[in-house]
Structure 1
């Protein structure tokens, strides 16, 4: 130990040449909120000094900016539709060197085995991959998931070195009411000195006080400045989200000022392949914040040191002696174009391309997850006493739906599709235990014609969901998704037009993000061009959230049509 300390002192003083020096840099100092011109000395993956250094190897940056590696404070890797290894290949070259992931999607399919897969497959990557243990598996008891995790199950992993705490407490009514199962999970986290993530949109006043008193530290669901300020006043950290489904950054930065910025950080939550490849990852959050009036150094602070301090991550998030050499090189502080990425002092990304290889990982414990009972036309039959029905109305660019009452075609007590009416049949089929559960509903404003779509991405329990104007095409798409072991399928006029195989839990691929995105783009084109799907919605993302019974106003689970405002099931037929 004495010799190690002596070596660090000699390296920092310049008596020993460090392994590498980044010369002529404009260094973003997140502590002093300034740009410092000089060199960054790196030895054995650590920063040993800032100033004027001579190294064994020197790289002249020619006045480019150097900032700490970026941190995503809350992400579901599964939403990228690729494995952790392929996710790293996409986000690391864009500047993200640390993530805090919540694997509740795969956990809802495979339970503890799913979490272990995410931990094991992210080991050894040039990405600091930390995890929060999912708190809501299942998300509600109004749907059938592939697993149920209690505090005693989570205890097996709570002391893992890369587990930081308990994931987003989506069931905030259960927290506020003191539900025993939730309290046991909170107790587990607090006893092990672990953090607790929040998910409490719209709660306020004494409910919010109770939520924070339980130990909830963070919130990523704020959509208004008022919500954000209410939580900041109670000592919470705010994760400003810019993902694919929810994009809150532009609104929330309106409420930022120097006095409250240090309690704010960035996250993506759910971001799909096309968006990551096209707009970036946390680097996109930084660019958008700057574009919307945030000082560049403050934006970088939110993407680095703020997140590190929130999640108690030592030695990352800053450029200073003793910190890990997780660094990004950018062209300027306006466009914030990431040119190079260093992880532990080794260059791992350049011009958005990975400079590292990933090993094949054994996914066998999390494949073969689609187990459905044979589905027939009879299972898809919607019986109605009259021609007035409760219908799910889609809203453009929104996961929230409206409950509306519509007149529909009924023959012999059964719903019949009418091509002149934009009302389609929706089916959610339990796919974990082959129970035979099939929940049915009707959807307006999807505008699909002459076909059907099916997928095994259906938040949060990830049952098999299908929409279409023909029972025959729906059955065909359902069978194709089951045949390929999970994924997405499109059928039309008795033929399967295209399918995407997502064998890992039925929600992720082991192919590269570029390959997955290419196939998705082709399928999106088919959906829009050949099936005429409403261009104001993403057909696959919209469909995947129509089974989530915690987002207002009306959804369908494998157990039936669900009214979120009443938090109970309702009939398709409208009662007098």
Structure 2
């Protein structure tokens, strides 16, 4: 703060000058003491100068809260903006009305596709938005050595980005064998960030307490991959922050709430990780998590503390997360506390949203590099490229999906075979799945069998396929699968639904095959069309199909996944064949 600004703040605090703005008659959430305070919020130069309980301050502009609850601006501790399918400039516009004033994002989706150009684009597009967007540098590009991504980012490639003030550290470290095995490249990244006095996020899916100890030894301090309360308790015991995730595919909040107690609550916060645009526009993100926590028995002030002060302190954002003297004037006025219905949102002391609408147009949209807009290179394929051959029998290693989870089951099932090749079965819900390398025309194709999707006909494909974002397609027949892949190539990435050889639903995502160039409202209409198309080929659909599909290629989440190099056992960290050749008894 400059001397002149500090002088002004001091003078206002001592009532020698009038403030810029006062929100009067508010019930303010005190996230330090977990109580409500009736006060006027006094603001100047984007900072909170006082909580005036006696009506002693005056301001140029005043507004009456009329006794409504006012809480700090909400913070999403971990989200991939690309999963919303809109760039940062649009993302800010749709999140602010839901009370989210700050996010910490990991752009490893676009960086896995477009490398340094992708990272720079995200930083540039986030520059002039009203929301505060902080970045963690992608730690795993490529995600693992068992697949092909569009880029490689070593420590030397990450180093220039540490100069940015909005870069807070290293994003979720997913490659736990590299950490525990003291891999040289991984240690270069970890030490680079530590020497810059920045932070390191974790990704401890399925790790036991001994493996977590290795993460802690490497300076990793957060985890958003807990799916049980016991996992959460173990991480808190080892001094980690636990991010309670509630997104589109991974919905862990209800299962993790029993781990949160008044004694340990300061080590928990909320995150979204991945959430699709239509769901964000309908229900928001962290505001939705708070309402769900309250509905399941959490004290409202405790839930608000998790979503504000805890997240801010975890990331050393010491001027955010509270409504108190000296803090940034980010706050949210509620219409309904239990449902987290939002009336108005202030960012840096300025009203930016009211009654579900942003008050200002997006500005400063970044130019998109042509390489980012032309990132999809799917080869011309034939049915022979999708053939899964069986040599000895009909017992297969099958990916079992778990609806609304990003983990899978490793199943062994008898499948239908004709002339030595696998044939999908709608009746048994055993479908074909393929991951096709789309970055460098390498020609690698991973093939597998999946159970649990329940498609009755057609095929579904997308270039949103975590984390290397190759093309992934699932279908009941080869013809529709090929049609879907061809459509992805023509539109330079996106979401596609095919029935009887024709595209019946689609959303083009030409920004690295991950994000749209459409405005959010138009994009949502296209998403709704794809959902309608999905129900046409899957009338009983009850889970988020595209997000579930998109995580089937992520080879760091247990148990069985598929990459462009083949079927991958995450527990043993090795490829396995589709056909089970040993003599095993089915469970």
* 1:557-568 equivalences in 2 (<5 Å): 557-568=563-574
State the shift of 1:2 in Å. Answer: 4.9
- Who is 1:219 aligned against? 223
**1:258 alignment counterpart:** 262
| Residues 553 and 7 (structure 1), Cα distance of their counterparts in 2 relative to 1, 3 Å cut | closer
Equivalent-residue separation in structure 1 for 2:256 and 2:297 (angstroms): 12
User: What's the offset of the Cα at 1:418?
Assistant: 4.9
C-alpha separation in 2, matches of 1:436 and 1:255: 46
- 5 Å-filtered alignment, 1:438-449, equals 438-449=445-456
Partner of 1:456: 463
The answer for the alignment partner of 2:285 in structure 1 is 281
SS for the counterpart of 1:116 is helix
Q: Is the 8 A contact 1:99 1:129 kept in 2?
A: yes
Q: Separation in 1 of the partners of 2:435 and 2:211?
A: 33
- Which residue pairs with 2:104 in the alignment? 100
Q: Give 2:348's match in structure 1, choosing from 335, 344, 358.
A: 344
- Structure 1 residues 287 and 411: alpha-carbon distance in aligned structure 2, compared to 1, 3 A threshold: closer
1:499 aligned to which of 502, 506, 525: 506
Partner of 1:378: 384
Q: Secondary structure at the match of 1:288?
A: helix
**Who is 2:27 aligned against?**
26
Deviates more, 1:122-131 or 1:357-366: 357-366
Deviates more, 1:541-550 or 1:83-92: 541-550
Could you tell me which runs of 5 or more consecutive residues in structure 2 were left unpaired when the two chains were aligned.
583-587
1:408 maps to which of 395, 415, 418: 415
TM-aligned CA deviation for residue 421 of structure 1: 4.3
User: In 2, distance between residues paired with 1:367 and 1:26?
Assistant: 48
2:581 alignment partner in structure 1: 575
Structure 1 range deviating more: 10-19 or 27-36: 27-36
- Secondary structure (helix, strand or coil) at the match of 1:50 reads strand
Residues 89-109 of structure 1 show CA distances to partners (whole Å, capped at 9, x for unaligned) of 111110000000011111111
Matches within 5 A, 1:43-442: 43-51=44-52, 52=55, 53-359=57-363, 360-365=365-370, 366-390=372-396, 391-418=398-425, 420-442=427-449
Instruction: Tell me if structure 1 keeps the 8 A contact 2:25–2:67.
Output: yes
Structure 1 consecutive aligned stretches of length 4 or more whose deviation exceeds 6 Å: none
* 1:161-212 deviation per Cα after TM superposition (whole angstroms, max 9, x unaligned): 1000010111122212211111111100110000010111332333222211
Name the stretch that deviates more: 61-70 or 314-323: 314-323
The alignment partner of 2:19 has SS state of: coil
Whether 1:512 aligns to 2:488 is no
- Give unmatched runs, 5+ long, in structure 1: none
Between 564-573 and 403-412, report the one with greater CA deviation: 403-412
Q: Distance in 2 between matches of 1:493 and 1:370?
A: 24
Alignment check: 8 A CA contact 2:378 2:485 kept: no
Distance 1:291 1:539, change over 3 A: closer
Matching residue within 474, 483, 495 for 1:476: 483
TM superposition shift of 1:274: 2.8
* CA displacement 1:214-252 (0-9 Å, x = unmatched): 111111112222222222122211211111122222222
| Cα 1:369/1:61, change in 2 over 3 Å | same
Q: Do 1:562 and 1:568's aligned partners in 2 also have CA atoms closer than 8 Å?
A: yes
For this pair of structures, how many residues does the alignment match?
575
Q: Contact 2:403–2:548 (CA<8 Å) still a contact in 1?
A: no
Q: Equivalents in 1 of 2:541, 2:130: separation in Å?
A: 38
Deviation at 1:79, TM superposition (A): 1.1
> How many angstroms apart in 1 are the aligned matches of 2:154 and 2:322?
37
TM-score by length of 2: 0.94
For 1:467, which of 462, 474, 486 is the aligned residue? Answer: 474
Q: Give the CA deviation at 1:546.
A: 1.7
* Distance in 1 between residues matched to 2:527 and 2:241, nearest whole Å: 35
Partner in structure 2 of residue 552 of structure 1: 558
Aligned CA distance change for structure 1 residues 297 and 371 (closer, same or farther; 3 Å): same
Deviation (angstroms), 1:329? 0.6
Worse-superposed segment, 363-372 or 496-505: 363-372
Measured after TM superposition, the shift of residue 458 of structure 1 is: 0.8
Distance 1:181 1:8 in 2: 47
TM-score (norm 1): 0.96
Q: Are the equivalent residues in 1 in contact too, given 2:179–2:215 (CA < 8 A)?
A: yes
Q: CA deviation at 1:83?
A: 1.1
CA contact (8 A) 1:547 1:557 kept: yes
